[in-house]
Structure 1
Amino acid sequence: MTDLPPLNRLLKTRPDRCDGAVILDYDGRMIRRKRLTTAEGRGFMVNLPEVTNLDAYWGLELTDGTTLEIVAADEPLVEVTGDLPRLAWHIGNRHTPCQIEGNRLLIRRDHVIEAMLGQLGASLRHVHGPFTPEGGAYGHGRTMGHSHGPDMANGHDHHHHTHA
């Protein structure tokens, strides 16, 4: 099977016609320059001007007009239930990506965060599914770090305090 031509542009809406799909996990959807493979096994190159989070895009258009949809892959997650506002605050305080739904939170499996949430009274259940966490408050799409103002220019030297 031959490779496909390279990426021409990202599509901000789902293509009317999809010639295939690219299935990527959360980490895989953060790209700049990378060879991707379609679900059908055909490879192609992506070379973007900057690191880009593909969560906000519904498709890819290749130089020959081929259109591909981006699909979030199933991955191992933890379903968190309980006092969701309080639990979400603690998850966010650890800069942990979190998918917020009406009756649950979803995070990637992490035994340290799971232990902390258990101590806070959360109910935890291992599940599999696509992971599409909330984007950052200071921009669109995925958080790419954060800043607490100009005093933080020399690094991330601060503490997050929790009060009981």
Structure 2
Amino acid sequence: MIIEEIVTNINDLSPDERNKRHLEKVHLESADLMKRIQRVETDHGRDLGIRLKNPHDLEAGDVLYMDDQNIIMVEVKRDDLLIIRPRNMYEMGTIAHQLGNRHLPAQFEGEEMLVQYDYLVEELLVELDIPFIREDRKVKQAFRHIGHSHGS
């Protein structure tokens, strides 16, 4: 089966719509969410080809296929993350500036900044005395690097 577009997101379906169908999941690494073309396998052993027509990153819960009996959706595997919890705007500005200089992508959930684990960032957080924890957590979207150069 070739998937060319996202049907919907599981969170946009009513509980009745979800519960009346058999659910299969495609488990992806967060980095794979950015791939438009890939071959995957569901947790029930079904092979799928993903070839998205539109340039769109996959997200947790995206429904790749749905009929009257089945749903195949994206489930994101856990990432090794640093969960940064600045206490104030100064700490937030300091760590955001430092991470920006390293071109590290970050995500935000509530009051937390999430970055993929890096021992140098961990050392920096300890040095700057900015609160953080290291945790395996599922993210909803891919960590996307923003491409640019410092030249003119």
Q: TM-score, normalised by structure 1?
A: 0.67
Identity among equivalent positions (%) equals 21
1:70 maps to 2:74:
yes
Q: Which residue of 1 aligns with 2:105?
A: 97
Q: Which residue of 2 aligns with 1:145?
A: 146
Structure-2 separation of matches of 1:76 and 1:90: 20
Deviations 1:81-138 (A, max 9, x none): 23234323332342212121233222111112222333322223211111246xxxxx
Shift in CA distance, 112/45, structure 1 to aligned 2, threshold 3 Å:
same
Secondary structure of 2:35's match? strand
Structure-1 separation of matches of 2:50 and 2:29: 16
Unpaired runs of at least 5, structure 2: none
Q: Which amino acid aligns with 1:107?
A: V
CA RMSD, 1 decimal: 3.1
Q: Which residue of 2 aligns with 1:33?
A: 37
Equivalent position to 1:131, from 119, 139, 143: 139
- 1:57, CA displacement in angstroms? 6.5
Unpaired runs of at least 5, structure 1: 134-140, 148-155, 159-164
Deviations 1:13-49 (A, max 9, x none): 3253453111212112111221111122322111224
- 1:65, CA displacement in angstroms? 8.4
Shift in CA distance, 128/79, structure 1 to aligned 2, threshold 3 Å:
same
Shift in CA distance, 89/143, structure 1 to aligned 2, threshold 3 Å:
same
1:22 maps to 2:30:
no
- Structure having the larger proportion of residues in helix: 2
Q: TM-score, normalised by structure 2?
A: 0.71
